[in-house]
Structure 1
Amino acid sequence: MEAKRAALSLGPVYYLWDGPKWRDFYFRIADEADIGHVTLGETVCSKRQHFSEPHVAEVIERLEAAGKQVTLSTLAMVTLERESRHVRDLVRDSIHPVEANDLSALGLLKGKPHSVGPLVNVYNAATARTLAARGADNICLPPELPAVSIRQMLAAMPDFSFELFAFGRMPLAISARCAHARSKGLTKDNCQFICGEDPDGLPLRTLDRQSFLVLNGVQTMSNSCVMLLDDLAPLISAGLSRVRLSPQDCDMVAVAKLYRMVLDGRMDGDEAIGAISTIYPSAPFSNGFLHQKEGAAWVSRGRTLATGPA
C-alpha cells in the first residue's frame, strides 16, 4: 500500500517585515517551494497591516498561479473597533478561505467553510467536533499538544483535516500591551514600529543571562524553534493531513525542501536537522511538548536534552 503523503503548508509571517521583503518572500515561496497551502495576512498587530496590504493582491495572484491554495488569517487579538471592522469585512468579502486565530472570528464564520489556526486552543476531540460542526474544515493544532492527544483526535475524526505546527518559534501568548515597544522606551501608541528592527523577534534573557523567550511586538514567543522532523511519520500514518512551517527570518525554501525530502523518505531526519541548523542557527531546536516534556526540551533517539525554558 502506498504511504500517505502529507501536504506541506506555510503559516502567516508573525514578524514585522517591510513590504518589499514580505512580498519577495512569498514570491519566492510561489516560485520555488513545494508547499501546497499558504496562510497569509497580519495575525499579530493591526498596526503592521499597512506594510503588507499594498502587496497582498499580487502575492495571492503569484501564489495561485503557482498552484498554491491561499487562506487569509484573522488577527489573534481584537481590541479596537477598527480591528473588529477589519475582521468582519474579511469574513464577509473574502473570496478565499479564512483562518480564525481568535475566538471572536468563529462567530462570524459559523456556517461557512473555514480553518482554525494554532492560536485557538483545540486540545481534544470534543472541541474539534464542535468546531467542525460549525463549519471548520481544517484545524492547525497548537504546538503545545503532546502526541498522545494528537493521536486521540486523529482516531476520533479520521476523515477530518488536521494540521500540525512543525517548524518555527512557538507563539505562546499575546497581549493588549506591547512589551517590545516598552523594552525600547516607547509606548504601543507611539511604537515607531520598533519591532521591525528585530525581524526574527527580540531575545530575552534571565538575570543570569540564560536565553528565555522572544518578544515580537505584542506577542511572546519561544526562544526555541520547534523541529518535528523525526516525529512526523507516525502521526502522518495515523491520519495527519498537513505539516505547517512557520516563517522565520531564514531561507524557508530550503527548510521546506528538507522537510519534503524527509517526509518522502528521501533523506534521513538527522541529516536534515543538521542541514537546517546551518540554515537557521538563531535558535535551539525543541520538540519537548510533543513528548510530554518541557516545551524547550529536545528529545532524540530516546534521550532528552534540556535547552532552557520555552
Structure 2
Amino acid sequence: MPSRFRLAKSARLGKARDRMGAKMRAADFAVSPKEAHPLRGRNPGETAGFRSKEEAREKLESDVRKLAQRQEVFFAARSFALLIILQGMDSSGKDSLIRHVLTGLNPQGVEVSSFRRPTEEEAAHDYLWRCARRLPERGKIGIFNRSYYEEVLVVRVHPGLLASEGLRRRAASPSFWSERYEDILAFERHLLRNETIIVKFFLHLSRREQAKRLLDRIDRPEKRWKFSLADIQERERWSDYQSAYEEMLAATSTREAPWYVLPADHKWFTQLAAAGILLERLVELPLRYPEPRPESEAELRRAKEILQRERDR
C-alpha cells in the first residue's frame, strides 16, 4: 500500500485537475531524504490537470522565456554555477527535455555533456573523474545527460562492468554500494559549498510507455538510428533497474540537492514540470547584475559623450 505521505503528495498534484494551469511547486516532485520507496504511488502518467500538450504549451513557452531572462542575470552575476542532472530509462525523454526546455537559453552559458560507457582513459580513473572535468564554472549551466549516478544504476544491475574499473575484488564487500552513495553525497556537498546549485531530475517512465516509444523508433526510419537491441535486453532487467533507482533516490536525495521525480509518460508534461522547477530554483537565488566599478562611471560618461557627438553630427 502507498504510504500516507505518498498519497498526500500524489493528491497535491491531482488537485489541479479542476483548475487548468494551477501552480505546481518543485516540492510536489521532490523526494524526501531517506524516503522509503520513493517511486511507490507516483504515477508516470500524471499531468497535474493539464489534459493535452496544447493546453500546456502556453505555460511552457512562458516559463522558458522567464528562464532565459533569469539566465541572463545568472550569467552576468557569476555568483553560482548550476548543474542539472538527468537520469532515466532509455527513451524516457532526456534528449527532448534538453531540446524543448534548455535550448531557449543563451548557448554561451550552457554546456551539455552526455556520459556513455567509460572510455579506456576514463575507466583508468576514479568514476567521478570524467564528470568532474565537465562541471560548469560560475555563471554557467552544465547539463549532464546521465552522470556519475550510472555507477550505482547500470553498474549495480551489471556488476561485471566493475572489472573494467579494476574493482571486481572490492565490489565483493557488503558495504560497496553504500560507500558509493557516501562518495556521491560527499562530492555533491563539496560542490554545494562552492556555490554550485544541483538540480537532479529522474524521468519516471512506465514499462508500457517505453515499449510504445521503442516500437516508434523501429517503425519510423528517421528514428531507427536511436534504436539498439540492447534496449530490449535491458527491458528484461526492468525490475532490477526500478529497485536500483529507488535505492539510489532514497540514499542520495538531500534537502540541499533533492531528486525531483518527473512523470515521463507524456513528454510535454515532463518538460513543463522541469521548466517550472528550474525557474523556481533560479528565482530563489539572490542574483543581481554586477555594480559598475567607481572608475567605470567616468568611463561610461565619457563613452556616452563621444557616441552622442557622433550621432548628432
The TM-score normalised by the length of structure 1 is: 0.31
Q: With CA pairs under 8 Å and 6+ residues apart, which has the higher RCO, 1 or 2?
A: 2
Greater strand proportion? 1
**Higher Cα Rg, which structure:** 2
Greater helix proportion? 2
The TM-score normalised by the length of structure 2 is: 0.31
